[in-house]
Amino acid sequence: MRRVLVVQLARFGDLAQSKRLLLSQARDAGNEVHLCVDRSLVPLAQLLYPFAVVHGLPAHRGDSDPGDVFAACRTCFAALRELDFTEVYFLNFSPLSFACAALFSPEQCRGYARVDGQDMRSTLFSLAFNFMCDRRFAPVNLADLWAFLHKGPIAPEKVNPPARPASTGCIGIIVAGRHARRSLPPKVLAACVQSVFRAAGGPRLLCLGAKEDQPVARRLRRELPPRIAERMEDLTGKTSLADLPDILRGLDMLLTPDTGAMHLAAHLGVPVQAFFLSSAWCFETGPYGMGHRVWQAARPCSPCLESAPCPHGTACCAPFSHPAFLAHLAGKFTPEWPADLMGCVSTLDDFGATCTVVDGGNPYADAACELRAGLAACRGLPEADAGGMTPHNAAFLFREKDWMLPGNWNHA
């Protein structure tokens, strides 16, 4: 028996996006799969991945004090060491992840490692850091990048079911994500909700979110016409993370920014209509699976850096209020299309998930495709043709040192 551990210390959405890697590990005969997550996410992780043994670490802020963090961490580390893993996959480029990696030998580690006190990236992740320097050309979904730590990951279509409505006449609305700038303001969201409401023939609306989202939900209700507002039930702050899968299963569609709930909906095959703006970029973190829709802001400054102040007054919100877009959302044909917006459908190819632009143009599509082919060539996948490693790709995917100097550490 081989014991493998996947360490995913980031948020709910990242946990859902680790699915292809986890399923690939679970598929391999003789593997016993373990998963280490923030302790608040243990119940959800157990729901998402019932085949895995889940371990909890105090990785998120929570209400812990330092003594508690140390004690919980040490207990968890002692248990993990005892299990003598054959391979340990570190997915997050974070100091917490590197601290955890210090427990294991470089031979055990995949993704990231700590080699004699020096933090190291694997060859694959070094490559990813290279191409992420210009995110506009993002050639791979994050879920696939993580999956490629496995030498033969499962086929993309085996990850999530295709999007299929529950036919309940109910639409869910995630009012806000963790980063305010990546969410539509209530007024803009209200206009989008009205259009979708019209297209769906007046469905019931379920407003979903945490307690801190309640003020936004109230503002959204105020922005809606009374006949729509009265169809909206506000569940913000009234449900737990563990309740979310059952709620999502009962939806015909989920309207959402780039959130963990979006990835959970994709995991369940619940159709998603996602609004991506600011730093969110659907070619990196779009919903995984066939048949979801993503409306991606595409200004020249997109995707931006969330942590930097926006010098443009969050102008990437504007296309979501454009009458042509709202008409499109309402199901009406219009020859117009707002500038700076891409309408995408989530699709799959042999390599993994991607977003195909069907409304508006994608000026970066050709370059991204070329990179994707190049990346496939690096992975040695059958669809990679001999021309995959074009001069442009060679220059973009690799730094000179990657060609000429020995690798820091020889594990994927």
Partner 1 sequence: MPEPMPKKQGMPRVLLVLPMYGGSLPVGRFAAEGLRENGCLVEIFDAPAFHPVFCALKELKVGSERLDALQNTFLQHVSQCVTAKAEAFAPDLVLSLAQAPLSIAALKRLRRAGTRTAMWFVEDFRIFTYWRAFATYYDLFAVIQKEPFLDELAALGVHNTLYLPLAALPSLHRPLTLDEREKQEFGAQLSFVGAGYPNRRKAFAGLRNLGLKIWGTEWDDDPEIAPMLQKNGERISSEDCVRIFNASAVNLNLHSSVHADPPVAPGDFVNPRTFEIAACGAFQLTDRRGLLPELYDPDEAATFSNAYELREKIRYYTAHPEERAAVAERARRRTLAEHTYAARMKRLLDFAAECLPGFGLHENVVWPENMPQDLGDAVAALMRELDLPASASFSDVIAAVRGKSGVLSDAEAALLFLDEWKKLYT
Q: Taking CB under 8 A as the rule, does residue 64 contact partner 1? A: yes
Q: Taking CB under 8 A as the rule, does residue 56 contact partner 1? A: no
Among residues 1, 29, 50, 63, the one that binds partner 1 under rule CB under 8 A:
63
Contact between residue 272 and residue 265 where contact means Cβ atoms under 8 Å apart: yes
Q: Taking CB under 8 A as the rule, does residue 47 contact partner 1? A: no
Q: Taking CB under 8 A as the rule, does residue 228 contact partner 1? A: no
Count of residues near partner 1 by CB under 8 A: 30
121 vs 218, which CB is nearer to partner 1?
A: 121
Q: Taking CB under 8 A as the rule, does residue 297 contact partner 1? A: no
117 vs 309, which CB is nearer to partner 1?
A: 117
Judged by CB under 8 A, the stretch of 60-68, 139-147, 258-266, 333-341 that binds partner 1 is 60-68
Judged by CB under 8 A, the stretch of 73-81, 184-192, 307-315, 402-410 that binds partner 1 is 73-81
Q: Taking CB under 8 A as the rule, does residue 301 contact partner 1? A: no
40 vs 194, which CB is nearer to partner 1?
A: 40
Q: Taking CB under 8 A as the rule, does residue 84 contact partner 1? A: no
In the range 372-391, which residues lie near partner 1 by CB under 8 A? none
Minimal distance in Å, beta carbon 87 to partner 1?
15
Q: Taking CB under 8 A as the rule, does residue 103 contact partner 1? A: yes
Q: Taking CB under 8 A as the rule, does residue 71 contact partner 1? A: yes
Q: Taking CB under 8 A as the rule, does residue 116 contact partner 1? A: yes
60 vs 299, which CB is nearer to partner 1?
A: 60
211 vs 227, which CB is nearer to partner 1?
A: 211
Interacting residues toward partner 1 by CB under 8 A:
57-59, 61, 63-71, 73-74, 77-78, 81, 94-96, 98-100, 102-105, 116-117
